Structure 1
Amino acid sequence: MLDHLRKPGFLVRLSCALLPLAFATGVEAATPKEGEVTILRDNYGTPRVYGSTDASLWYGVGYAMAQDRLWQAELLRRTARGTTAELFGPPALGGDITLRTLTGPEEGRIAQFEAATEEQKLIFTAYTDGINAYIAEAIRTGTLPQEFSAFGFEPEEWSPTDSINILQMLWLDVATGGGEELANAAQLQQLIAINGPEEGAKIFADTHWLEDPDAPTIVPANGALNPAHPGAGIGHGKPVLPAADFTKIQSRLDDLRSNLRRVGMGSGSSSNAAVIGPKLSATGRPLLMGGPQVGYSSPQLGHEMGIHYSGYDTFGVGVAGLPLTVVGVSTDMSWTTVTGGTDNSDIYAEVVNPDNPQQYRFNGEWLDYDCRLETFGVAGAPDTGKTICESVHGPVLGTAPGLAFSLKIAGRGKDLQSHEAYLGMIRAGSVQEAQESLKNFPYNLSLVSADRRGNIAYWHLGEIPLRAPDDNPWLPHDGTGNAEWQGFVPWEDMPRTVNPEQGWISAWNNKPRAGWQNSRMDFWNWGPVHRASTLTDYLSQLEPGTATIETLEELNRFAGWTNQTPSNAARNIFAPPLLGELLSRVDTGADPRLPAIAELLGNWDMQQLDLEPMGGDGYYDSPAVAIFNTWWPALTTRVFGDELGPQVMPALGSTLGNLVYRLLVDGVALPLQHDYLDGESAEQAVTAALVDALNQLTTEYASSDPGGWLQPVATIDWKPIGLGAVPDTVWMNRGTYNYIIQHGPGNNFIGQSVMAPGQSGDSQSPHFEDQLELYQSWEYKPMRLTRSGLNGAIESVIRLTPAWPN
């Protein structure tokens, strides 16, 4: 069925002038492969696609995407296929092998397509036809992106399974969490080697906890629609630690992240969101701020577009190669996603048959792996063959003596189910209708939404495994059949809230709700020290009837400038939850410099600011930034360095903030099991570390005057994914795409967005970096959801009559 979709269509360009639109509305559903499409671009080059049928609409969406981002779509396709080593040589081979291992063979994607709904088949095929039409035209006219010439090839025809493959890769990156058991096992090995079995186990428990009641939550305590679910599948069994070099096996996933970063992915993603209900809004209309945070690249991963026909009346951001608006706004709703962070993938230790290494033990039997031979092209080197095997749990990532390690992922193979859930949500007229579709989303995301009726909502989505009661979630799971998942958390027990009494919802990858357990490392192991506090502290102070678009603009700046250490570490230690506790433990009599330093830090607003980001002096205005950022590593090294060692300590990241919090605060829910102070008091450790920091800064700046201790500003490095590059910009911890919405009918709708560096992936285009200045100066452009809103802002119009493949 797919063969004909690999043949390029062609188009007839009817007009490039600014002609009035004349497209059908309110017509009966047309048969597939009919209709016309108009692509209208505004003065930032952002397309709005108007179809006269479903098929022509998605044809136009594919064509418009290819106009803007064909090279990016090609790289995403190659990354998902595991063929980037054909361009980039041996350094990309490891990531290619891992990606192809995780996404499975092409037959699986064909099977998904064949099982899709008729609507989905139409969407994917028409989208494919639009891409292929543009490819054929660009080849014919010599207008392919310059990167194709630089690498010396022309793009193959697109296929619907290419889009499905990219969708698989996207959800692996932003909606699959966990799979860290081998890294955890390596950490436990190192902690035991340094501290001995008993204390090593205690330190591992201190750094790997299941649920901390002190952690800030998205669902307010009085706003949950569902009770705590202690059976969320996280067991408390004794650690099982087979002898193996876990670090070497885990490195395969590091290779994967390296390839993903080349296409603007692989940052682990994160994102923030805030939504304000009618009672706090000055207009009585709900307000939403979306801030998807992905990799900093030029162009970035997001591609902005309006899609208009019948049930699709949306404006927002998708991903090149995908017929889907991932975040954005429709006539009735606005929505944004935040990486959920819950552990929904596990690594299993399979016992290998000593007499036949092609078999493994499961439920008392020796089973054969399902294996296939894959060939990988490598630029400048011979092709490489690799046998890829799967157990009943999933793809095998590596082996150790007598063992093989496989990865089980909730949602794997259900990519078009996720697409269908999204389509239903996009077409919904209210958050209540959206919820019915979102129940079926199989991966893990947090989704925040508002509708024009005034409802606001949050849902934690996906199939979350219920693990066996005695299964230890931190370490490799028993693959012999004793640690199988017991189903998934029922929808009625998933975290969610609609119209909470407090009148607002915020999310920044924090804990979904009270009682929610999680077995993730570092940032995702939720504790009391979390960057989400910067959002909740701000929103909790809003007075009824006061919030506006400008309120969310200010919130975005406030969160984006809040000091973290290091200053460009988006998910590391934030000052607000810790500074007050640290200062309360400083003995200002221990050093004559300390009273003035404590006063300086106590008066600091905890913002890292260079007040004129477009023309400042390149240094943060307050010396408190340098002091805090030097004090923090001095303290953590002094207190934890000996116990954690040089391998574990850097890997813990924001976990250290929660350890310090538990060290300093009385009555915490999770007191520390190991004594890290080595005979010092907390006051002595905190004070001595601050003195050490002052000495270090005196040497570094060759001055004892704190007024001169001004840290250079951190910057964003926009990594090119093609031949074009853009300048670095001042660091801000915010969405790579930002949009702010006031919902309501007619003139009550206000929308603004910014997508740096720009809409186009062509470095010769005026729209390659025309939003970069807006971004770094915290400005926005109008979103212009309606046709009338585009009056006076139209750059070009083209009309296409698709010539469909036979």
Structure 2
Amino acid sequence: MPGRTPRTPLDRLRTPRRFPGFLKTASVCVLIAGLLSPLSQMAVAAETATATDYCGGQCSDILPPGENGNATLAQILLNQAFGTQPSHAEDQLGPYANLATGYSALTTDKINTFFNDASFGVASGQVASTESPAGRTDVTIVRDKKTGVPHITGTTRYGTEFGAGYAAAEDRLWLMDVFRHVGRGQLTTFAGGAASNQGLEQEFYRNAPYTEADLQAQIDNAVANNGTRGQQALADANAYLAGINSYIDASDSGRYFPGEYVLTGHKDSITNAGTIDHFKITDLVALASVIGSLFGSGGGGEVNNAVSLLAAQAKYGVADGTAIWESFRERNDAEAALTVHNGESFPYATKPDDPQGEALPDAGTVTQEPLVYDRTGSAATATAATTATTAAATALSSARRGMSNALVVSGKSTASGHPIAVFGPQTGYFAPQLLMLQEIQGPGISARGASFAGLSMYVELGRGQDYAWSATTSGQDIIDTYAVELCQDDYHYLYHGTCTAMEKVEQKNAWTPTTADGTAAGSYTMRVYRTKYGPVEYRATVGGKKVAYTTLRSSYLHEADSIIGFQMLNDPDYVNGPAAFQAAAQHINYTFNWFYADSTHTAYYNSGDNPVRASGVDAEFPVWAQAAYEWRNWNPATNTADYTPASAHPNSVDQDYYISWNNKQAKDYTTASWGDGSVHRGNLLDDRVKKLVAAGGVTRVALVKAMADAALADLRAEDVLPDLLRVVNSSTVTDTAAAAAVAKLQTWLTAGARRTETSAGSKTYANADAIRILDAWWPLLVKAEFEPGLGTPLYTALTANLPIDETPSAAHGPTGAHAGSSFQYGWWSYVDKDVRAVLGDTVAGPLGQKYCGGGSLTSCRDILISTLKQAAALTAAQVYPGDDLCAAGNQWCADSIVQRTLGGIKHGNISWQNRPTYQQVVEFTSHR
């Protein structure tokens, strides 16, 4: 709901009335004292065994809020009552937040004021604790004093991975348990029937409705298809699981397990009755399916594309409507910011000259396939539960939309002659964080960095001995929609001419009373119908024939495959330069942009299993489920096909610089994302890094400053407002209210158009009125500029493809309020191209026609001034209506970032920054 703080996926953990009745007695004091004795208080002065480190003290990283994501019941109660924090629960939040006001004065010796030293090992004076889990002599876990990050050193491969599992459970057991249940569609049975829990499991079950057999088959196939490395991955996973389960047993026996298990009824705080289920290998695939769905599954949306195309054709006629639609789609916009910017072309998913097999729905017939059935005992109706987006699902969906960024500069342009990288994933802000930090040193493994909790048998983003790597989500299209013609009834379809039954997959969930939001005990069933072409997502008619629209993605039934690529990235004997790095990334089937830096080279590779489509198939729209339009050599039994070769994926070595903020990868490479046009948040990085490279002598400090400055920039103000003001000022502004607003906007623009505090901790923006005016003006001006010309049906359909706005405070936007990530999705490019066209500028790849004022500069100016006056008249309370966290009118708070709780510990909000959640700053000084 606009204006409301997103509720947590486990809302009931917040609510005191959910605590067991024993808390009303005096025994609570004794209980708290008994629970405050975790293993983490053991400290032994010792120095870790380390691998050779070629970073020379110039590798740093940060991951808020803190490494410790587990809390006992007592620690949760103390946090909720007094705000106290468990050790290392939020010690990285302050440094991360402070960069927003501290970056302008940054110097080399201050970098680790805002980041952690990411060198290998722990100096003896910085050792906080040392343990050999389960009494093993082949692995040691050392934690440092500053951050509590686990440094795992093993003398055997099994022991190393056992230690990795044990450390993961020490830091994220509850979160791992939540996500294995989310991945199986079983969160409500595990954690209760709160609306947010229901929404969260529904969000992911529709995309990956896997049976236990499906999960096991993924493991079997990944092992069988990858030889020795596949066997090693299986052995690593089993050792990792043994470590997790060893910690479960130890914490249960010692009664220091996460307190959320008590609050959700899985454990009794007095008798210790109840169990924490051991993890099994299929749980890892369930976890991977959630992460893959969030960050590595580009594509889809073909039905929505078809709906907006039909609206355009209804407005303008087939030929002109198609041309107008294509201009808004911006498949290959000439003005788009590119990661590979040397002019090299990588054609993929381009528009065919003569499209074949399209199956566009009849207008008005599309309905979404129901997911929820047989609901009992819930205050919500089945229809509402099926269609509503709960706050929890929105919170995790924002992670999918938020994505990541990268700035990498070749040694040719740096002061030292060594490449520099500032990069990381923008995975959203959660407590505990989805990622966790670790260092792993053992036979065949030498890496430090971040991994998703429960998948941390390898470092997934980080550094090796003499190289570092990171990723951004790429979004190229690996998902297609097929129209299966129905036969016999609504649950049979034609497959190669034979009437075939759909497979019904169900997950039945039940919960007991009473959750914090008042949901009573109840149950419901999630039901997905699967075809050989994937799960059914929509139904419609095409030319009067009843069809089901299915969604087929290349990573479906293959979530486990990418483990091989991550294993390679952690192997110091494998990665010895850019070519090996790119070869490792080729084994990752998720849609990511991968970046690399060592002391001499930089590199880039775009990963993902890109299916080879049949000739003439347009990836933008649904096609008929017929053999002629299937992926080439597609095998429905295994969901495998021909994929484009590595050379066809955007890739590069030693380009002068690379930037990525989920922008277009390269010329002719079409992603599934709308908005890859003339104005994209990638421009905020590209403009700054290009300027640094042109000047030469780039340093770590300069590159961090460029990132931090872009992180505070308002994209609309920096790249669109100047042209809007050109229109407004094309004649003297005589209206006093409009003139005052223009003056404020111009002053802000001259000052840099950033959303920054007046001083550190002031919680008040400089140029606050100008920011308020633009926040209010943008939605008004977009609607007034485009809706009259497009007509309401087409305007509405296009906004379903691409929301008009995504400001930091926009609860109505795709990311939601307090999410950090901003300006990824919006109509900035459309406004920019249209206004420049009206001004008479040359526009490469213009929109199909001029919209602002019908193309008249005078009329366009009138529209802008009218909407500007409306915006300026709105109060702060109207623009920022307030929510559970912020009072109405509190602009800074409305923008602020919240660590959305996935457990019992809460943290304070921090000032807005548009930057990666986990971030590295690296400059290697030498190489093996």
- TM-score under structure 1 normalisation? 0.80
Match of residue 511, structure 1, among 664, 669, 672: 664
Instruction: State the match for 1:241 in structure 2.
Output: 360
1:28-83 Cα deviation digits (max 9, x unpaired): xxxxx985211111121111111111111111111111111111111111111110
Equivalent-residue separation in structure 1 for 2:743 and 2:202 (angstroms): 57
Give the 3-state SS of the residue equivalent to 2:179 in structure 1.
Answer: helix
1:663 lines up with 2:663 in the alignment: no
Check whether the contact 2:744–2:767 (CA below 8 A) recurs between aligned residues: no
* Residue 690 of structure 1, CA deviation: 3.4
User: Does the residue aligned with 1:273 lie in a helix, a strand or coil?
Assistant: strand
Q: For residues 775 and 48 of structure 2, what CA distance do their matches in structure 1 show?
A: 59
Structure-2 change in CA distance of 1:303 and 1:257 (3 Å)? farther
**Deviation of residue 671 (structure 1)?**
2.4
Match among 713, 720, 723 for residue 581 of structure 1: 723
**Paired residue for 2:9?**
none
Counterpart residue identity of residue 472, structure 2:
V
CA distance in 2, matches of 1:720, 1:52: 37
Aligned 1:647-662 pairs, distance under 5 A? 647-648=796-797, 650-651=799-800, 652-653=802-803, 654-662=825-833
**8 Å Cα contact 1:581-1:664 kept in structure 2:** yes
How far is 1:744 from its partner?
2.6
Q: Does 1:96 align with 2:201?
A: yes
Q: What count of residue pairs does the alignment treat as equivalent?
A: 704
Counterparts of 1:596 and 1:58, CA distance in 2: 61
Higher deviation after alignment, 478-487 or 316-325: 478-487
Instruction: Report the secondary structure of 1:638's partner residue.
Output: helix
User: Whole-Å Cα distance in 2 between the matches of residues 15 and 600 of structure 1?
Assistant: 53
Q: Which moved more, 1:628-637 or 1:282-291?
A: 628-637
Structure-1 separation of matches of 2:138 and 2:40:
10
Query: Equivalents in 1 of 2:179, 2:596: separation in Å?
Result: 28
Q: Is the 8 A contact 1:234 1:517 kept in 2?
A: no
Does residue 462 of structure 1 match 2:623? no
Counterpart position of 2:123: none
Classify the secondary structure of the residue corresponding to 1:125: helix
Q: Does 1:369 align with 2:473?
A: no
Q: Percentage identity across aligned positions?
A: 23
The verdict on how the C-alpha distance between 1:171 and 1:22 changes in structure 2, with shifts beyond 3 A counting, is closer
User: In 2, Cα distance between the equivalents of 1:460 and 1:334?
Assistant: 16
Gaps of 5+ in 1: 1-12, 27-32, 565-573, 703-708, 749-806
Aligned-partner Cα distance in 2 for 1:511–1:21: 46
Matches within 5 A, 1:18-167: 18-21=44-47, 36-43=138-145, 44-86=147-189, 87-89=191-193, 91=195, 92-93=197-198, 95-96=200-201, 99-103=204-208, 104-115=210-221, 116=223, 117-153=230-266, 154-167=275-288
Q: 1:170 to 1:256 in 2, by over 3 A?
A: farther
1:603-682 alignment runs, 5 A limit = 603-613=750-760, 615-621=761-767, 623-642=769-788, 643=790, 645=792, 647-648=796-797, 650-651=799-800, 652-653=802-803, 654-665=825-836, 666-677=841-852, 679=854, 681-682=856-857
Alpha-carbon contact 2:475-2:672 (below 8 Å) kept: no
**Cα distance in 1 between the residues matched to 2:855 and 2:160:** 69
The CA deviation at 1:667 is 3.4
Structure 2, unaligned runs of 5 or more: 1-38, 53-134, 224-229, 267-274, 373-385, 513-519, 633-641, 804-824, 878-888
Match in the other structure for 2:901: 720
Q: Which amino acid aligns with 2:732?
A: G
**Aligned equivalent of 1:10:** none
3-state SS of 2:417 partner: coil
Does the CA-based 8 Å contact 2:349-2:477 persist in structure 1? no
Partner AA of 2:173 in structure 1 = L
Q: Which of 280, 299, 308 is residue 178 of structure 1 equivalent to? A: 299
Match of 2:566 among 417, 422, 425: 422
- Bigger drift between 384-393 and 733-742 goes to 384-393
Determine the C-alpha separation between the residues in 2 that align with 1:18 and 1:256. Answer: 49
| Cα distance change of structure 1 residues 281 and 95 upon mapping to structure 2, 3 Å threshold | same
Alignment of 1:551-570 (within 5 A): 551-564=702-715
TM-score (norm 2): 0.70
| CA 46–258 in structure 1, closer or farther in 2 if over 3 Å, else same | same
Residue 622 of structure 1, CA deviation = 5.5
The answer on whether the counterparts of 1:74 and 1:155 sit within 8 Å (CA) in structure 2 is no
- Which whole-Å CA distance do the structure 2 matches of 1:166 and 1:710 have between them? 38
After superposition, what is the alpha-carbon deviation per residue over 1:257-285, rounded to whole angstroms, capped at 9, x for unaligned?
Answer: 86555668754241001112212222222
Structure 1 residue 549: Cα displacement: 1.8
Q: Sort the Cα spacing of 1:544 and 1:674 in 2 relative to 1 into closer, same or farther, 3 A.
A: closer
Counterparts of 1:188-199 in structure 2 under 5 Å?
A: 188=309
Q: Cα distance, 1:679 vs. partner?
A: 3.8
Q: What are the within-5 Å matches in structure 2 for residues 70-469 of structure 1? A: 70-86=173-189, 87-89=191-193, 91=195, 92-93=197-198, 95-96=200-201, 99-103=204-208, 104-115=210-221, 116=223, 117-153=230-266, 154-188=275-309, 201=322, 203-222=324-343, 224=344, 227-229=345-347, 237=355, 240-243=359-362, 245-246=365-366, 248-249=368-369, 260-261=393-394, 266-322=399-455, 323-353=457-487, 355-379=488-512, 380-400=520-540, 402-427=546-571, 428-452=575-599, 454-469=600-615
Distance change in 2, residues 1:25/1:215 (3 Å)? closer
CA distance change for structure 1 residues 270 and 152 in 2, over 3 Å: closer, same or farther? same
Amino acid at match of 2:625: G
Q: Secondary structure at the match of 1:152?
A: coil
Distance, in Å, in 1 between the alignment partners of 2:178 and 2:405 is 27
Q: CA deviation at 1:293?
A: 0.7
**SS class of match (2:864):** helix
Output the CA distance in 2 between the equivalents of 1:519 and 1:112.
Answer: 26
Instruction: Tell me if 1:743 matches 2:912.
Output: no
- Work out whether residues 421 and 923 of structure 2, in 8 Å CA contact, stay in contact via their aligned partners in 1: yes
Q: Is the partner of 1:662 in helix, strand or coil?
A: helix
Measured in 2, the distance between the counterparts of 1:662 and 1:408 equals 35
Q: Rate the CA distance shift 1:610–1:231 in 2: closer, same or farther, 3 A.
A: closer
Q: CA deviation at 1:592?
A: 5.2
Contact 2:200 2:392 in 1 (8 A): yes
Paired AA for residue 355 in structure 2: G
Q: Is the 8 A contact 2:306 2:360 kept in 1?
A: yes
Q: Is the 8 A contact 2:366 2:538 kept in 1?
A: no
CA contact (8 A) 1:174 1:269 kept: no
Structure 1 residues 729-768: aligned runs within 5 Å: 729-745=910-926
CA contact (8 A) 1:351 1:480 kept: no
Q: Say if 1:606 and 1:314 are closer, same or farther in 2 by CA, change over 3 A.
A: same
- Give the distance between the partners of 1:262 and 1:626, measured in 2 at CA: 25
- Distance in 2 (CA, whole Å) between partners of 1:584 and 1:14 is 61
Shift in Å, 1:519: 3.8
Distance 1:680 1:232 in 2: 30
RMSD: 3.3
Q: Secondary structure at the match of 2:875?
A: helix
Q: Which stretch has the larger CA shift, 49-58 or 199-208? A: 199-208
Which letter maps to 1:561? Answer: L
CA contact (8 A) 1:35 1:55 kept: no
1:547 correspondence with 2:728 = no
Deviations 1:727-783 (A, max 9, x none): 11111101112221111349x9xxxxxxxxxxxxxxxxxxxxxxxxxxxxxxxxxxx
Asked if residue 471 in structure 1 is aligned to residue 617 in structure 2, the reply is yes
Residue 305 of structure 1 deviates from its aligned partner by: 0.8
Task: Check 1:649–1:633 CA distance in 2 against 1; reply closer, same or farther (3 A cut).
Answer: farther
Distance verdict in 2 for CA 1:400–1:108, change over 3 Å:
same
Name the counterpart of 2:685: 535
